[in-house]
Structure 1
């Protein structure tokens, strides 16, 4: 990293902070801070949706995946398409028409407060674990290119991310996501340019080497339940996981409810998926070309892990200028996920816990201040989680998939019980979910229930639905106010015709427990 490289990274950092400061001037209430007053363009929210999930782990792991296995990881984008399609069909109408701030408000309208709290808790556990992986991934690069100790790198990345997220709110998060996603492509382009110009035959020679080593296959139709590089696993196991991530994760839902209307939200979701397809394809392409580059130029050192290939390439092969763009791209990928995680954590705790239980009649200024304080608090927790992620020694993508499936599978089951099964009551949803999680945990530890981790969501969600429905049969039928406008079979028009609460009305509180 030379002076030019550090200048590029510094300019990028200044622009990000400036966006946060400009956005902060509009903040007068929590609706602006949490949803941008629903005035952010749908296309910016679309890029923000994919930037949220396109982390530094993606930018580091993608080239490593392409280097090792070629383009097979691209099959996961079909699972993403299935997941996003199910969100549009089953969940999006409720999120937008109910005028929600968090996804878990729906659970109280449909069930009760304890089910809302359970759903919110599942999300919090997921995002705290994920936040550690995100911070750790960015810190790997900082430590590699600056020779800083890993601990100091984690603190540096964490503090910078906390600072501009606190200042700017969702508006700053979304617009920095747009900038960061663009920066990611500039960095990937710099890496591809370096690899292509690093061999006499250019792109054609790199492509031929990749083809000769079976790196260009797009599909693997074999049944391999433990491998995400198998099409059936990518479609069914990962597709359900993608459905859980896109449909129950507050980081994604916060983008949908910030859209002006349902049509805009649909367009934002589809743009997010297409952008993700292009982004993942670009990182895999870089990895495939790096395979050709190192095959021609003597190979990689034996101790370089897949996640470290891009960092090794930046340090040893990329010229000044291009290095700066690549490092800035990795910072961008990290921050676009970290800021979203911190902001959604703050939103969730403020709306679902503080405003709901602690200070129900709080004023806007007080809620806004609480939200900003919570970003700092959870940023510190995330830094601690990053130290844990560094100590596990797991592959970054493996780490993120493991903790994603653990918490979001049960959460998906709760939402589907609410939307699809009018007979499920609050006790069934709450206790059925807990029972499903306990069965999976105990069964896995005892050895009589074994399945690959990627299938956890696809197994836990339907198991929770089955148990929840069964438990509900022994209890009361849900009242009409818990159904009208809140399931696929009870529309808002029916509710209005019957004079019952519809989508724009608050369902009366049915008690906490």
Structure 2
């Protein structure tokens, strides 16, 4: 890292802090802190949706996937499109029209408080598991390019992320995401330029080398149920997993409900998918070009440089001054855009779904703001501890994050589907069906049973629905009044009454 590189990274950090400070001066109530008073432009929210999911794991793991498998990982964007389309059709209109703050408030309106708490608790477990991996990804790059110990880098990145998230609320998160989005693409462009200018023949030579090695294939039509780069797997199980993430994850839902209306929410969701498609394509392209670069220059990478270490190695050994600073800042941006969103969503759920709902109702907005900010600090420090665990276990980031998404959000997707699509399912059926599905999969996992892998969400969601429906048949039918405006398929008339 040259002086120029450090100046670029320092400038990025100062701008992030400045945005947090500017946004903090406008925080007068919880609606502004949690939803930006529903005045944030839809296009900024759309970019923020992409930036939230485009983490350091994406920026490190994407080039690694491109290096190993070429463009095949791009098929998963079809699954993402399936997921976002289902959210737009089924979930988003209800969330926006109900004027809720967290996704899980819907579940109390449709069922009861215990269902809301169960779903919110599952989200909290998911985000805590995810934050450790995200923070580790950024710290890994910082450690490699600065020669700082990894533990020190984890602390530095963690504190920086906590600071501006506490200050500015969702407005700061969204607007820093927009800036980080731009920086990510500038950094990736710098990486592509560095690889292309490093060989005789430039980009054309790198492209030809990649083509000869079969790295440019985009679609794999073979039926390989456990292979993420098989098109059927990318569309079916990964599409359902993307549906769970985009539809039940508070990080995404918080952005939909921050939109002014349903139409704005839909446009934001589609823009989020499209910008994600472009981002993934460029990270894979960078990995492919790095493969060609090292094939031409040295035959291959050193044996100990694999997976998430490929891009940091390229930055430290091949990227010229200026471009290196842009790439490092891009990794920071990718990490912080996910960390700040995770911390803010976590604090929102704990404040709204637990603290305000059960412990301290009817307090002032200022009181709840202080509680949310304190929770961001507490759980930010916890995520630092989780990053230490991920570092000690030497986990590959993308598979790690996908596993925890499926484990926690699969049953919750089933719970939301029960509420929106099945009027006959009652509160007890929904609760115990969701719980049973999670317990069954957990027992199978802990006992070393069959590994469902990427199919876990596709199995957990319908399993929860089936069990929940069966239990509900033994109890009361929800009254028509309790369903009005909360389901898409009522299946009852106004004259129906609850029955055993």
- TM bin, normalised by shorter chain, reads over 0.9
- Structure 1 residue 150: deviation in Å? 1.1
- Structure 1 residue 384: deviation in Å? 1.1
2:265 counterpart residue number: 265
1:510 counterpart residue number: none
Alignment partner of 1:468 is 2:468: yes
Q: Secondary structure, in 3 states, of the residue corresponding to 1:70?
A: helix
2:195 counterpart residue number: 195
- Tell me, in whole angstroms, the C-alpha distance in 2 between the residues paired with 1:318 and 1:86: 42
1:327 counterpart residue number: 328
- Tell me, in whole angstroms, the C-alpha distance in 1 between the residues paired with 2:436 and 2:374: 35
- Tell me, in whole angstroms, the C-alpha distance in 2 between the residues paired with 1:437 and 1:366: 35
- Tell me, in whole angstroms, the C-alpha distance in 2 between the residues paired with 1:263 and 1:234: 28
2:498 counterpart residue number: none
2:369 counterpart residue number: 368
- Listed one character per residue, the Cα deviations across residues 482-505 of structure 1 (whole Å, up to 9, x for unaligned) are 2110000249xx99xx79xxxxxx
- Structure 1 residue 229: deviation in Å? 0.4
- Structure 1 residue 446: deviation in Å? 4.2
Paired residues for 1:213-362 under 5 Å: 213-298=213-298, 299-362=300-363
- List runs of 5+ in structure 1 lacking aligned partners: 500-513
1:170 counterpart residue number: 170
Q: Is the 8 A contact 1:180 1:336 kept in 2?
A: yes
Q: Secondary structure, in 3 states, of the residue corresponding to 1:474?
A: coil
Q: Secondary structure, in 3 states, of the residue corresponding to 1:17?
A: helix
2:14 counterpart residue number: 14
1:212 counterpart residue number: 212
- Tell me, in whole angstroms, the C-alpha distance in 2 between the residues paired with 1:9 and 1:482: 54
1:379 counterpart residue number: 380
Q: Secondary structure, in 3 states, of the residue corresponding to 1:71?
A: helix
- Structure 1 residue 272: deviation in Å? 0.4
- Structure 1 residue 445: deviation in Å? 4.2
Q: Is the 8 A contact 1:122 1:408 kept in 2?
A: yes
Q: Secondary structure, in 3 states, of the residue corresponding to 2:236?
A: helix
Q: Is the 8 A contact 1:82 1:239 kept in 2?
A: yes
Q: Is the 8 A contact 2:251 2:345 kept in 1?
A: yes
Number of equivalences: 495
Alignment partner of 1:458 is 2:458: yes
Q: Is the 8 A contact 1:225 1:452 kept in 2?
A: no
Q: Secondary structure, in 3 states, of the residue corresponding to 2:319?
A: coil
- Tell me, in whole angstroms, the C-alpha distance in 2 between the residues paired with 1:63 and 1:261: 37
- Tell me, in whole angstroms, the C-alpha distance in 1 between the residues paired with 2:459 and 2:88: 22
- Tell me, in whole angstroms, the C-alpha distance in 1 between the residues paired with 2:302 and 2:419: 53
Q: Is the 8 A contact 2:191 2:286 kept in 1?
A: yes
1:106 counterpart residue number: 106
- Tell me, in whole angstroms, the C-alpha distance in 1 between the residues paired with 2:31 and 2:216: 47
Q: Is the 8 A contact 2:347 2:373 kept in 1?
A: yes
Task: Quote the RMSD (CA, aligned, Å).
Answer: 1.5
- Tell me, in whole angstroms, the C-alpha distance in 2 between the residues paired with 1:443 and 1:385: 25
1:145 counterpart residue number: 145
- Listed one character per residue, the Cα deviations across residues 92-119 of structure 1 (whole Å, up to 9, x for unaligned) are 1110000010000000000000000000
- Structure 1 residue 471: deviation in Å? 0.5
- Tell me, in whole angstroms, the C-alpha distance in 2 between the residues paired with 1:118 and 1:375: 21
- Tell me, in whole angstroms, the C-alpha distance in 1 between the residues paired with 2:117 and 2:287: 42
Q: Is the 8 A contact 1:131 1:341 kept in 2?
A: yes
- Tell me, in whole angstroms, the C-alpha distance in 2 between the residues paired with 1:304 and 1:65: 14
Q: Is the 8 A contact 2:165 2:340 kept in 1?
A: yes
- Tell me, in whole angstroms, the C-alpha distance in 1 between the residues paired with 2:106 and 2:393: 36
Q: Is the 8 A contact 2:424 2:469 kept in 1?
A: yes
2:158 counterpart residue number: 158
Alignment partner of 1:440 is 2:438: no
- Tell me, in whole angstroms, the C-alpha distance in 2 between the residues paired with 1:230 and 1:392: 28
- Listed one character per residue, the Cα deviations across residues 47-105 of structure 1 (whole Å, up to 9, x for unaligned) are 00000000011001101100000000000000000000000011011100000100000
- Tell me, in whole angstroms, the C-alpha distance in 2 between the residues paired with 1:145 and 1:371: 34
- Tell me, in whole angstroms, the C-alpha distance in 1 between the residues paired with 2:284 and 2:329: 19
- Tell me, in whole angstroms, the C-alpha distance in 2 between the residues paired with 1:281 and 1:78: 12
- Structure 1 residue 221: deviation in Å? 0.8
2:182 counterpart residue number: 182
Q: Is the 8 A contact 2:422 2:490 kept in 1?
A: no
2:414 counterpart residue number: 413
- Listed one character per residue, the Cα deviations across residues 172-199 of structure 1 (whole Å, up to 9, x for unaligned) are 0000000001000000000000000001
Q: Normalising to structure 1: TM-score of the pair?
A: 0.95
- Structure 1 residue 394: deviation in Å? 1.9
Q: Is the 8 A contact 2:138 2:331 kept in 1?
A: yes
